[in-house]
């Protein structure tokens, strides 16, 4: 088989090459990269306080990480469009391991300065990774596979975190006291994070990507840095994007409370078990929500609206549940172990929070893809998302680092901010329309191993 271009017949690449350049393979790779980097970070965060005995210094370090992300997310968006999302992704795999190593040295030797250094490298890499990974995850797939491939991305993150959480649980199962997790846990997780760099090198550049429908994403126009920032600002000012900023600000806020909650009321092995459970919950939610968002028997606007309504209902239930229990626990300061009466109730509220939390992760990126399918604009809009989340996380971790701010006040602020974001988000969601293929999609036709693409001399473009 061959494809026909203006210059004649071009041999079709072999099946292995086609798969290597496919959107499916790239979705799998960013999922594996996500597992080794933020997946491991999330596994440690899921233990509360990064696995350490108290949350205050870890929260202070996280303030540094997210403050850096506020500034650098737009910068890496401009760099990714000017040069290559692939190499920005590679930068995103370098700084996580030093942060995990700093948790280890602080746990074993009490070295706190290294945690500040690790938080800095983590912030730089996180800004690069989340912007590039999000643009690839949303912009590479075919329109009818975005939900599924986003689910693969986040699902592989969760599968990796299941492995990490299983290791955490196995190494800490005998610890029925409060305190830090075992030091061996950190060493294994650091080794896993080192796999991220070689995996990132396998990502395909935009011009070599092969979609099954024969289209190619429009390659970002190479501009000056000044023009790149002007384009970022134009995307940020678009009404449907600007209206989503409040929900981006609130989507990550309560994670600080949840980490402090786990550290305050649970033993080490109970924290490890909770981290394992929420990973399974997250995996299931990612798969189900990804499937729903690709369910083409419903219009795209209907899927967007139903998804948002589900998020509002589940977040509201979660926040009310958290507020009621926190008001009770603040009076009696309980400590829950796996065998303690009331453990199931106490851990359930923690796990329920991660239902809408993980659903929003898929839905949030998918909704941005509804407003624009150009890689350049998606890079900018996902940078808006990450900067917004990082700004909120910076403030919430600063509150979490303060011993004067109670857990009840923390979760109350999170819930009020979420409910305040409902009106603008609802307006934006109601702007979603049905997908219309851009004219640019037909300007480049990729060869595949499964079909012959017939084109006229007038309309064809060689691959």
Confidence of residue 459 (pLDDT cuts 50, 70, 90): very low
Q: Is residue 445 part of a domain?
A: no
- Spatial distance between the Cα atoms of 112 and 38, rounded to a whole number of angstroms: 21
- Spatial distance between the Cα atoms of 304 and 428, rounded to a whole number of angstroms: 10
| Mean pLDDT score of the chain | 82
Whichever domain contains 134, its CATH number is 1.20.1250.20
Confidence of residue 443 (pLDDT cuts 50, 70, 90): very low
Most confident of 60-69, 194-203, 278-287: 194-203
pLDDT at residue 441 above 50?
Answer: no
5 forms bridges with which residues in the sheet?
8
Q: Quick one: pLDDT at residue 270?
A: 86
Domain encompassing residue 331: 7-200+224-435
Q: Quick one: pLDDT at residue 215?
A: 79
**Average pLDDT of the residues in 260-278:** 85
- Spatial distance between the Cα atoms of 58 and 119, rounded to a whole number of angstroms: 9
Q: Is residue 233 part of a domain?
A: yes
Closest residue by Cα to residue 95 from 122, 71, 129: 122
Q: Quick one: pLDDT at residue 180?
A: 60
Q: How many domains would you assign to the chain?
A: 1
* Higher-pLDDT residue of 98, 49: 98
Closest residue by Cα to residue 217 from 74, 372, 83, 435: 372
Q: Which residues, at least 6 apart from 348, have a Cβ–Cβ distance to it below 8 Å?
A: none
3-state secondary structure 96-117: HHHHHHHHHHHHHHCCCHHHHH
Q: Is residue 321 part of a domain?
A: yes
Q: Is residue 461 part of a domain?
A: no
Widest pairwise Cα distance in the chain: 79
Instruction: Give the CA distances from residue 446 to residues 146, 209, 365, 437, 449, in Å, rounded to whole numbers and listed in that order.
Output: 19, 8, 26, 16, 10
- Spatial distance between the Cα atoms of 395 and 380, rounded to a whole number of angstroms: 23
Residues 393-420 pLDDT 10s: 888 888 777 777 788 988 999 999 999 9
- Spatial distance between the Cα atoms of 406 and 415, rounded to a whole number of angstroms: 15
Closest residue by Cα to residue 387 from 236, 220, 196: 236
**Average pLDDT of the residues in 418-434:** 94
Q: Is residue 403 part of a domain?
A: yes
* Higher-pLDDT residue of 374, 31: 31
Q: Is residue 213 part of a domain?
A: no
pLDDT at residue 184 above 90?
Answer: no
Q: Are 354 and 161 in contact (CB under 8 A)?
A: no
Confidence of residue 458 (pLDDT cuts 50, 70, 90): very low
**Average pLDDT of the residues in 269-278:** 84
Counting residues of the chain whose pLDDT is more than 90, the rounded percentage is 33
Q: Is residue 444 part of a domain?
A: no
* Higher-pLDDT residue of 159, 192: 192
- Spatial distance between the Cα atoms of 53 and 109, rounded to a whole number of angstroms: 13
Q: Quick one: pLDDT at residue 450?
A: 36
**Average pLDDT of the residues in 181-198:** 84
Counting residues of the chain whose pLDDT is more than 70, the rounded percentage is 86
- Spatial distance between the Cα atoms of 241 and 388, rounded to a whole number of angstroms: 12
Q: Is residue 67 part of a domain?
A: yes
**Average pLDDT of the residues in 153-169:** 76
């Amino acid at each position: 088989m061959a494809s026909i271009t203006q210059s004649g017949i071009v041999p079709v690449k072999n099946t292995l090459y086609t798969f290597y350049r496919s959107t499916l393979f790239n979705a799998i790779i960013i999922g594996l990269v996500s597992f080794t980097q933020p997946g491991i970070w999330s596994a440690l965060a899921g233990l509360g306080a990064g696995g350490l005995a108290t949350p205050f210094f870890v929260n202070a370090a996280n303030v540094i990480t997210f403050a850096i992300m506020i500034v650098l997310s737009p910068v890496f968006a401009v760099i990714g469009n000017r040069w290559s999302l692939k190499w920005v992704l590679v930068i995103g795999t370098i700084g996580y391991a030093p942060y995990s190593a700093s948790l280890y040295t602080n746990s074993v030797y009490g070295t706190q300065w290294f945690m500040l250094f690790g938080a800095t490298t983590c912030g730089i890499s996180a800004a690069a990774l989340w912007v590039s990974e999000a643009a690839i995850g949303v912009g590479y797939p075919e329109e009818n596979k975005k939900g599924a491939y986003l689910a693969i991305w986040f699902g592989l993150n969760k599968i990796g975190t299941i492995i990490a959480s299983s290791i955490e649980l196995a190494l800490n199962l005998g610890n029925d006291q409060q305190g830090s997790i075992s030091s061996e846990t950190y060493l294994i997780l650091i080794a896993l994070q080192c796999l991220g760099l070689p995996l990132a090198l396998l990502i395909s550049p935009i011009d070599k990507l092969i979609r099954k429908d024969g289209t190619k994403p429009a390659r970002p126009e190479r501009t000056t840095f000044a023009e790149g920032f002007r384009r970022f600002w134009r995307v940020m000012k678009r009404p449907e994007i600007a209206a989503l900023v409040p929900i981006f600000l609130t989507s990550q806020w309560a994670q600080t409370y949840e980490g402090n909650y786990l550290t305050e009321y649970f033993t080490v092995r109970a924290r490890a078990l909770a981290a394992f459970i929420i990973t399974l919950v997250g995996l299931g939610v990612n798969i189900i929500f990804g499937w729903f968002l690709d369910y083409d028997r419903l219009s795209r606007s209907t899927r967007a609206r139903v998804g948002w309504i589900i998020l509002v209902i589940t977040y509201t239930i979660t926040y009310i549940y958290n507020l009621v229990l926190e008001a009770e626990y603040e009076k009696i300061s309980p400590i829950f172990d796996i065998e303690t009466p009331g453990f199931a109730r106490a851990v359930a509220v923690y796990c329920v929070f991660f239902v809408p939390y993980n659903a929003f992760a898929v839905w949030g990126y998918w909704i941005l893809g509804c407003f624009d399918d150009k890689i350049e604009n998606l890079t900018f809009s996902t940078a808006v998302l990450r900067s917004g989340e990082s700004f909120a996380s910076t403030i919430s971790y600063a509150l979490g680092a303060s011993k004067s701010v109670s857990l009840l006040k923390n979760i109350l602020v999170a819930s009020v901010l979420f409910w305040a974001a409902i009106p603008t988000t609802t307006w934006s969601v109601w702007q979603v329309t049905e997908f219309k293929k851009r004219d640019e999609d037909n300007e480049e036709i990729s060869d595949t191993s499964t079909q012959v693409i017939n084109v006229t001399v007038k309309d064809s473009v060689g691959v």
